[in-house]
Each structure stands twice: as C-alpha cells, then as structure tokens.
Amino acid sequence: MLAILGVLFLGLASPAFAAQAIQSPEISSSPANASQILDRALASFSIEYGYLPSFGGNISHPNELTRRLMQRLVERTGVGPDVRPGGITIDSSQYNPDSPALTLVESSSGGIYSSTFGPALYESLNVFPSSSKFIVSVNLGNDTIKLARDEIAAAIQHLGWDRIRALELGNEPDHYAGGQRPAAWSSSDYTAQFIGWTSVLTRNLTLPKGIFQAGSFADDPPTASMTTEEIIDEGAGDTGAVEVYSQHMQVRYQFSTCDPIRDAIATLPHLVNHTNITSYVDLWKPQVAAARSVGKPLVIGEYSSVSCSGKENVTDTYGQALWLADSILYSASINITRMYMHQGATLVLQSGTQANSPGFSWYDLWYPVDSDRYGTARAGPSFVAYLLITEAVGSSGHSQLALVATPANPQLAMYAIWDKGKLSRIAILNLANRYVSTSADDAENLAVTVDISKYVSGSKVSKVQVKRMTAPGIDSKDSDTATWAGQSYTNGTANGKEVVEGLNRGQVKVGGSEGVLVILP
C-alpha cells in the first residue's frame, strides 16, 4: 500500500519537478572524437588599443585590478591569456619614438579620430603575466606601409620576440571599402596587399617566417565579403608569411546596439540560449576547416555578444557569463584555437543610430578604473566564467574537449574534458533562464540533475569534486553575488570561503543559469 502511494505520488509530482528527471548521457571513455589539444590561452583578450592605458596603467601606476584578475587565470592554466591591443583605433594610429604614451585626437563627445603613441605605451602591457603573449596589431587602414613598419619595429624593440605571438595588419579590413579604400575594395585586393606588405616588411625588418595573423575580418561568414576560406584560395598563405588566421565574431548580424532593429532583439533570452549559441558558432566551421587544410589554426581575434560595445542590462549582467562560457567551450569543441574577448569602450561614429554613448563597453569583463558610468573599478559579474573555463582547460597542456549530446535537454551544454587521454573533468552549463525574480518553485523546474556515477568507478565516487558558478539570476549585475566555488572576485581576489561540493548519491544538480565543473578523481 505504501509502495503504491509512493508510485502515485511520484507520478503526480514528476511533471511539475523537471529537476527530478535525471540525465546521464553517453560519454566516450576515449577522446577519439574530441577537439584538438586545447590551447591554455583559449580564453584570451582583445583590448581596444586606444584604451590600453586604462586597462594596464604604466610602470609607476600599474593597474593592480587588471594584474590581480590575470593572476587568477595563470593560477588555473599556468600561463597568462594572450592580449591583443587592437580594434578599430589601430587603423588611425601612428608610432612616434618622441611621443608620450598615447595622444588621442578626439571629437567633442570623446570619439577617437586618430592617435599617436610612444615607447611608454608598452608599459601598459607590463601588468600582464610574463607568460602572456601579445598580438601586435598595426595600421593597415591608412595604406602607408611606413606606419606599419615603424609600429612593428617598435614592438620588436620594446616587447621582444619572446612575447610576440603574431603580427597583425589592420583591423576588420573587410570594412575599409568606401572609407579607407575605394568602394570596390575586395577580398583579392586585400590578399594582394597582404602578400605585398608581408614580403616587404619581412625583408625590411628581417622577420621570422610565418609570423603574421591574417584576416581579422569583421563580418559573419558565410555572407561576409572576405573570409579565411577565400583568402587562402587567393594565395594569402602561399609565401609562408602566415602563422594563424583570424576572424571576428564581433559584428553579429542579429545583435547590435548600432541600429534600433538589432538593438531591440539583443535580449538576455535570445543570447543565453544554447541552440542560438551553437548555430551561430557553427557558421565558422568552414573557416576552421579551411585553415586546418593548410595546417594553420583559426582564432577569433575579437568578439563579444552584442556588437557596438554591448548593451546596458544585457551584457553587463551575469547572463553574459553563461553566454561566454558556452560560446568559448563550444568554439573550442570545433577546434577554434583561441578566443580574444574584446575589452574597451564605446566609440562615437560607429553608426549614425547607435544607442550607446562613449564610456567603457557594457560587455567588458572588468571595469579597470573608476568611471561615471560604472562607479568603482571592479570585475563585472561575468568574470567568473573565465574561472570556470580556465579550470576546465587546466594546466597540463594536454587536454581535449567534446560537446556531449543531451537531446532530452536542449538548454544543457555538457562538455567532457580528457586530460592526457583520460576523462578528467565535465563542465555542465544549464542555460535555462533563471532571473532574480524567478520563484523557488519555478527555479526548481529549471534545474537539471546529472548522474555522474557512471563516469567514475564505484570506489571513487566519493572523491569527485564539484565547483559551481552561480548568481541570483541572469539579470543580476552585482559582482559580489556572482560566485565561483562560493567565492566572488569583485576586487580581483577571492572573497568568501571556498565551497567545493561532492556528489549527492552520485548525482549533481545544476540549477537554471548555473554552471558546474565536475572534477573526476
């Protein structure tokens, strides 16, 4: 009688409590179909060149917040992230050995028309870990090779080859047509100029072979006017100058605050959706394949969730952490080698109808200095995503990753990570949208429980560790309550007591808008 009641009770309760439907998808014990070996700098940064001093400071006034936040990443992977000082302001820049760090020619509203920098600008890069590599981005837009030559020579002198990952000519050259180039400027024109300039620069500066990062195109494939596929076909790699191909994920055609139509649809439910994220990233698969076919990596040299510097109450929330974690891990699963998340500021003249005014971008992972817009310098609520990702990647330099199919749960993003060939970690992101105002009952419906016991031998189940990324809701903007393993990182150091959980009867529960990293013994 009791048993029958029990069955009846479960039968009534389970539709209302989806969290009780336990998932245990298949994970292969070998990484046979996983990604390439993960680059430990997978989660890297692009920093708008004109704002580099705000992020880095200089020798006498280093930005200690930036230094601390970067240290948190080194602790997890053993190396610093890559840093690409770049973006649209590089194409109106000029190096002058006698100039101060950075002189901007600005509009009355704070837009940057052009800039001149001197040797002291390199001091800004000093706060980044000594293991961080830099992308040296130089002016191609101006169409004057001497400007690029002098910028490369200065970088070699002040940074040294140990610190230089690659040299990059220009930012988003697919957007030059009708502005810095004639209206008919095309992919073959770019390729011809790339081949010409790289050979002159290589001869003039005695550059090593294969040192350039080619591309840096803005627009989404396949409709973009320039792509990696196309420039490879046109022979961009034929002279041996290319080390790596780059395309951006920044000018996302759906979501942008550069015009009212795309602004209206740039909402948290549209962004924090695993189906949307994967179908968008999949557009780059042919680009990855093209680069790999000539033995080169593809990187995303600049990106974020909403183009034109993000959107208030959307990209400055904890929801951005889920968007970042899923976008980066999924990109890694399709062999995108590194992702340079853009940090910077709104520039005027990005479009005649842009919603944002100048100031730090709404998507920045941290606000490096005090500002009217954001108040006190601090990490944003999305910073915790970088802790989940760097711990998922780990420090061995021998990890690989694969998306695990969970068809019963389309908003679950589950990634298996093999370290030295052995299944070692599982990252589980539950993208079901939970808001600050979501009731406890509704939140319970969004939670998913995953049975981990089948991935670990019986005697070791009690040794499994779980670290959790969570916050009051995807719309929360409070960095103090966005936590990783129970700790917040508002000022760049761990605050609070670390919480490392175990499994509950072999299972882990992942609430809506939470992420966990399951660490297998």
Phi-psi region of 505 (alpha: psi -120 to 50; beta: other; left: phi over 0): left
Give the nearer residue to ligand NAG in terms of CB position, either 204 or 504: 204
Which amino acid does the sequence have at 198? T
> Could you tell me the smallest distance in angstroms from the CB atom of residue 100 to ligand NAG?
6
Q: For the CA atoms of the chain, what is the radius of gyration?
A: 23
Give the nearer residue to ligand NAG in terms of CB position, either 97 or 269: 269
Q: Are 499 and 466 in contact (CB under 8 A)?
A: no
> Could you tell me the smallest distance in angstroms from the CB atom of residue 491 to ligand NAG?
4
Give the nearer residue to ligand NAG in terms of CB position, either 351 or 495: 495
Site for ligand NAG contains 445 (CB under 6 A): no
Find the helix packing angle between 64-77 and 383-393, rounded to 10°: 30
Contact partners, residue 319, CB within 8 Å, separation at least 6: 268, 271, 272, 433, 474, 475, 513
Contact partners, residue 405, CB within 8 Å, separation at least 6: 25, 26
Binding residue for ligand NAG, selected from 4, 33, 108, 497, defined by CB under 6 A:
33
Inter-CA distances, 132 with 73, 181, 440, Å: 11, 34, 43
Instruction: Give dist(CA 477, CA 471) in Å, integer.
Output: 9
Give me the residue label for tokens 């970067």: 70
Instruction: Give dist(CA 13, CA 17) in Å, integer.
Output: 6
Site for ligand NAG contains 483 (CB under 6 A): no
The size of the chain, in residues, is: 521
Q: Are 512 and 475 in contact (CB under 8 A)?
A: no
Site for ligand NAG contains 411 (CB under 6 A): yes
- Span interacting with ligand NAG, options 387-395, 412-420, 448-456, 488-496, rule CB under 6 A: 488-496
- Span interacting with ligand NAG, options 140-148, 378-386, 412-420, 461-469, rule CB under 6 A: 140-148
Binding residue for ligand NAG, selected from 7, 8, 16, 61, defined by CB under 6 A:
61
- Span interacting with ligand NAG, options 53-61, 163-171, 215-223, 513-521, rule CB under 6 A: 53-61
Of the candidates 38, 103, 1, the residue with the CA atom closest to the CA atom of residue 424: 38
Which amino acid does the sequence have at 60? S
> Could you tell me the smallest distance in angstroms from the CB atom of residue 284 to ligand NAG?
10
Binding residue for ligand NAG, selected from 23, 36, 103, 188, defined by CB under 6 A:
36
Binding residue for ligand NAG, selected from 246, 247, 331, 335, defined by CB under 6 A:
335
Find the helix packing angle between 319-333 and 274-281, rounded to 10°: 40
Site for ligand NAG contains 376 (CB under 6 A): no
Instruction: Give dist(CA 231, CA 488) in Å, integer.
Output: 44
Site for ligand NAG contains 487 (CB under 6 A): no
Site for ligand NAG contains 254 (CB under 6 A): yes
Site for ligand NAG contains 60 (CB under 6 A): yes
Instruction: Give dist(CA 443, CA 432) in Å, integer.
Output: 9
Give me the residue label for tokens 């882990």: 508
Binding residue for ligand NAG, selected from 120, 164, 192, 436, defined by CB under 6 A:
120
Q: Which of residues 255-314 bind ligand NAG (CB under 6 A)?
A: 269-270, 273, 275-276, 288, 312-313
Binding residue for ligand NAG, selected from 19, 35, 39, 513, defined by CB under 6 A:
35
Q: Are 380 and 293 in contact (CB under 8 A)?
A: no
Contact partners, residue 279, CB within 8 Å, separation at least 6: none
Question: In the stretch 175-204, what mask flags binding to ligand NAG with x, by CB under 6 A?
Answer: -----x-----------------------x
Binding residue for ligand NAG, selected from 44, 46, 54, 58, defined by CB under 6 A:
58
Give the nearer residue to ligand NAG in terms of CB position, either 288 or 520: 288
Q: Are 83 and 45 in contact (CB under 8 A)?
A: yes
Interface with ligand NAG: number of residues (CB under 6 A): 36
Site for ligand NAG contains 223 (CB under 6 A): no
Q: Is 99 exposed, middle or buried (0-12, 13-18, 19+ CB in 10 A)?
A: middle
Site for ligand NAG contains 491 (CB under 6 A): yes
DSSP 8-state secondary structure symbol assigned to residue 124? G
> Could you tell me the smallest distance in angstroms from the CB atom of residue 34 to ligand NAG?
7
- Span interacting with ligand NAG, options 14-22, 143-151, 356-364, 447-455, rule CB under 6 A: 143-151
Residues that bind ligand NAG (CB under 6 A): 28, 30, 32-33, 35-36, 58, 60-61, 92, 94, 100-101, 120, 141-142, 144, 146, 149, 180, 204, 254, 269-270, 273, 275-276, 288, 312-313, 334-335, 411, 491, 493, 495
